[in-house]
């Protein structure tokens, strides 16, 4: 907490995307009413006094006690002014050739991810958007919007693709809108854990990456070629997750991904 410029309270329930962005950007340490209730206090300033009082029991914290007592309390609306909670959906005409290729690859990945769920999941339209407060959002029903800057992670190779895949899994796990609030219940965590923990995400990422590179070449755009490191890391990822992997960077064959019997049935991912 002391690494932040100050503490602020979001004036409402839950933790909305804008509050999450304020904290992620290290503009302020954000709390809500629930945190105040835990300490039986009514304001951030009283919370600081309470924390200082608890720290006084141990002389080891003597220096930090003064910092806590003098820690600034910031107005949430002023701190959050830099962020816009709304996102602007982008049309294909708004995208350059590289961004169109990124969108196509992300849409391909999304169309395969739905088959990783043990329950029936309806395919959602995936579009690119400009947003300040999230990497991606969904209405929990028929579409997912991915931030255009986040889509560019595909150009970072395997790490970037894995980040995109985990983002898509995250949004598909939301059965309700993630645009204002970001609810994560037990069912959400169970879905997310089952998908990323029992499927060959490394091999899957290689397939998506391979497809992206092929499309870039087809469109006459610069391509970062696969490296030995990409190949070996994909293998390590799948071995760590204890799943059978498919050989990456082989375009001709379309193998079925076999997963451990205790997890999912066979999935034709690719």
Pairwise pLDDT comparison (232 vs 57), residue with the higher score: 57
Q: What is residue 268's predicted lDDT score, i.e. its pLDDT?
A: 41
Please compute the mean of the pLDDT values over residues 104-123 and round it to a whole number: 89
Q: What is the mean pLDDT of the chain?
A: 76
Q: How distant is the alpha carbon of residue 233 from its chain centre? A: 21
Quote the pTM value. Answer: 0.61
Q: How confident is the model over 58-97, as pLDDT tens digits?
A: 666 566 777 888 888 888 888 777 665 567 788 888 999 9
Phi, psi (rounded to 5 degrees) for 252: -60, -50
Strands, E assignment, the chain:
7-9, 29-31, 73-74, 88-89, 125-130, 136-138, 143-147
Can you tell me whether residue 251 is helix, strand or coil?
Answer: coil
Percent of the chain surpassing pLDDT 70? 73
């Amino acid at each position: 907490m002391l690494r932040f410029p100050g503490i602020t309270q979001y004036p409402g329930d839950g933790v909305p995307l804008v509050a999450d962005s304020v904290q992620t950007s290290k503009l302020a340490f954000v709390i809500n009413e629930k945190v105040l209730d835990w300490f039986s206090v009514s304001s951030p300033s009283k919370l600081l006094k309470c924390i200082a009082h608890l720290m006084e029991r141990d002389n080891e914290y003597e220096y930090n006690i003064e910092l806590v007592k003098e820690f600034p309390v910031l107005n949430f609306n002023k701190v959050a002014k830099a962020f816009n909670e709304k996102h602007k959906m982008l049309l294909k005409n708004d995208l350059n050739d590289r961004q169109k290729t990124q969108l196509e690859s992300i849409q391909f990945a999304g169309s395969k991810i739905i088959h990783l769920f043990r329950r029936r999941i309806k395919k959602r339209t995936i579009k690119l958007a400009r947003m300040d407060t999230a990497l991606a959002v969904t209405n929990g029903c028929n579409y997912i919007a991915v931030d255009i800057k986040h889509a560019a992670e595909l150009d970072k190779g395997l790490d970037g693709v894995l980040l995109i895949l985990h983002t898509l899994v995250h949004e598909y796990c939301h059965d309700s809108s993630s645009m204002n609030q970001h609810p994560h219940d037990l069912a959400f965590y169970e879905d997310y854990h089952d998908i990323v923990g029992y499927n060959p995400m490394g091999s899957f990422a290689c397939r998506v990456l391979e497809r992206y590179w092929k499309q870039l070449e087809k469109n006459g755009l610069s391509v970062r070629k696969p490296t030995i490191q990409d190949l070996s890391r994909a293998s390590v990822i799948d071995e760590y997750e204890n799943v059978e992997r498919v050989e990456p960077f082989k375009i001709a064959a379309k193998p079925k991904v076999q997963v451990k019997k205790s997890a999912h049935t066979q999935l034709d991912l690719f």
